[in-house]
């Protein structure tokens, strides 16, 4: 009998032999390919369950960890501790994250309020952080209540697409108490596209506007284009803390696409942003999303001075130099903003002229006075266009 069959058998035996202990009397609506199904909620001993390392919320962190260390085997103490560390602790530390502290305190005070979801063979599809918190609390005070995890058990026919739908429905929606990690959100979006889900379907599933899903797809495209320039196109963790920059950059690439901007300009733009991301990875927070907005303005205006300054950033390797160049570019953009273009001035005067002329007519001025108003305003417009 293989491991999977053994896991299934142990859970089946428990539900049959310990039915009174397992029964909660609760049910939960779960989204599957066939639609929502109301399934029973059981109380499972934590030693019957396994963390699902393929979960999207966990996928980016797991990939980065295994790349740096070794493949996680959760059937060993070392592997299980590694999983709990990734779920609850700040990277490479023994300090709990703020979210983990809140979750642990909540479970300690009120118990596990929200049931999780497990696969037929006992892998936790929804609720890995809750399970890790129970493990943490049991180690802390040995209270037997922390050795049980309440969850729905999916039917044996549930497949990878069903797993995706469960995750997306319960973890990806905007109204969750715990914010969905930005990089995990992009991975979930990538899986949705792999399953050929339409923008409209994703929007409905995540309770988000279609417009926002389209924007996030552009961000995902930008991320994948950047990762192609790195040594590992699968390692999303490279973009940790860079997602605000990605958002601003994706806004610009959408603008390019909508306005049919040449491929050469788009490539030039992406090359610069990729450089800025690389600078930020080496020197965190050197370049902010406000800087990217300034760069976007420069591209929209075809501002040669500012673009030349941003080009210099590419060849600089000093954080101080980069900051100085960014400040210089901001100054250039600010100076340009102060300038009033002649046609813009003319347009403003034209609006004022129309308003003044209408007001003059209301006051029933003489025809000769109205003629004088018209001539004066036309002259002002002419002056504005010449300056």
Backbone angles phi, psi at 367, to 5 degrees: -60, -40
Q: Pairing state of beta strands 116-118 and 35-45?
A: unpaired
Helices 289-301 and 263-282: crossing angle, nearest 10°?
A: 160
For the chain, the structural domain boundaries read 3-171, 262-338, 342-386
Q: Give the Cα separation of 111 and 116 in Å (integer).
A: 13
Give the per-residue pLDDT at 285.
Answer: 86
CA distances from 259 to 81, 143, 250, 256, 364 (A): 52, 63, 14, 5, 47
DSSP secondary structure string, 109-151? HH---S-EEE-TTSEEEE-HHHHHHHHHHHHHH--GGGGEEEE
Give the per-residue pLDDT at 13.
Answer: 96
Q: For the chain, which residues score pLDDT lower than 70?
A: 1-2, 173-180, 337-346, 349, 360-365, 380-387
Q: What is the pTM of this model?
A: 0.75
Give the per-residue pLDDT at 342.
Answer: 59
> Which of 172, 195, 166, 190 has the alpha carbon at shortest distance from 52?
166
Extended strands (E) in the chain: 23-32, 35-45, 50-51, 116-118, 123-126, 148-153
Q: Give the Cα separation of 82 and 71 in Å (integer).
A: 10
Give the per-residue pLDDT at 89.
Answer: 92
Q: Taking the C-alpha atoms of 203, 206, 209 and 214 in order, what is their torsion angle to the nearest 10 degrees?
A: -60
**Residue 273 CB coordination number (10 Å):** 24
**Two structure tokens written together for 272:** 């610069």
Q: Give the Cα separation of 317 and 322 in Å (integer).
A: 8
Give the per-residue pLDDT at 175.
Answer: 41
> Which of 274, 283, 181, 286 has the alpha carbon at shortest distance from 224?
274
Q: Is 61 helix (H, G, I), strand (E, B) or coil?
A: helix
**How does pLDDT run across 238-293, given as a tens digit for each residue?**
998 899 999 999 999 999 999 888 898 899 899 989 999 999 998 888 889 999 99
Give the per-residue pLDDT at 318.
Answer: 83
């Amino acid at each position: 009998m293989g491991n999977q069959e053994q896991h299934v058998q142990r859970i089946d035996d428990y539900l049959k032999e310990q039915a009174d202990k397992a029964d909660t009397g609760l049910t939960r609506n779960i989204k599957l390919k066939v639609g929502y199904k109301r399934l029973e909620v059981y109380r499972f001993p934590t030693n019957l369950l396994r963390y699902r390392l393929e979960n999207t919320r966990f996928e980016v962190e797991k990939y980065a960890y295994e790349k740096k260390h070794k493949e996680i085997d959760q059937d060993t103490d070392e592997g299980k501790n590694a999983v709990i560390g990734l779920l609850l602790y700040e990277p490479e530390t023994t300090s709990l994250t703020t979210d983990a502290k809140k979750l642990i305190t909540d479970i300690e005070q009120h118990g596990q309020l929200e049931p999780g979801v497990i696969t037929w063979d006992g892998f936790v599809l929804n609720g890995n952080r809750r399970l890790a918190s129970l493990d943490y609390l049991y180690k802390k005070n040995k209270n037997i209540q922390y050795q049980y995890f309440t969850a729905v058990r999916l039917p044996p026919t549930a497949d990878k697409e069903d797993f995706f739908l469960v995750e997306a429905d319960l973890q990806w929606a905007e109204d969750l108490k715990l914010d969905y990690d930005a990089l995990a959100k992009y991975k979930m979006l990538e899986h949705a596209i792999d399953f050929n889900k339409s923008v409209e379907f994703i929007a409905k599933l995540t309770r988000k506007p279609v417009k926002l899903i389209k924007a996030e797809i552009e961000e995902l495209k930008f991320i994948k284009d950047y990762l192609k320039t790195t040594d590992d196109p699968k390692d999303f963790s490279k973009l940790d803390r860079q997602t605000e920059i990605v958002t601003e950059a994706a806004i610009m690439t959408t603008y390019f696409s909508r306005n049919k901007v040449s491929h050469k300009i788009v490539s030039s733009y992406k090359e610069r942003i990729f450089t800025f991301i690389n600078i930020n990875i080496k020197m965190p927070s050197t370049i902010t999303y406000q800087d990217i907005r300034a760069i976007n303005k420069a591209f929209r205006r075809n501002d040669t001075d500012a673009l030349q300054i941003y080009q210099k950033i590419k060849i600089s390797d000093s954080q101080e130099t980069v900051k100085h160049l960014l400040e210089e570019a901001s100054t250039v953009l600010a100076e340009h903003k102060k300038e009033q273009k002649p046609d813009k001035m003319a347009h403003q005067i034209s609006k004022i002229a129309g308003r003044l002329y209408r007001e003059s007519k209301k006051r029933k001025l003489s025809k000769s006075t109205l003629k004088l108003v018209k001539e004066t305003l036309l002259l002002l417009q002419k002056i504005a266009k010449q300056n």
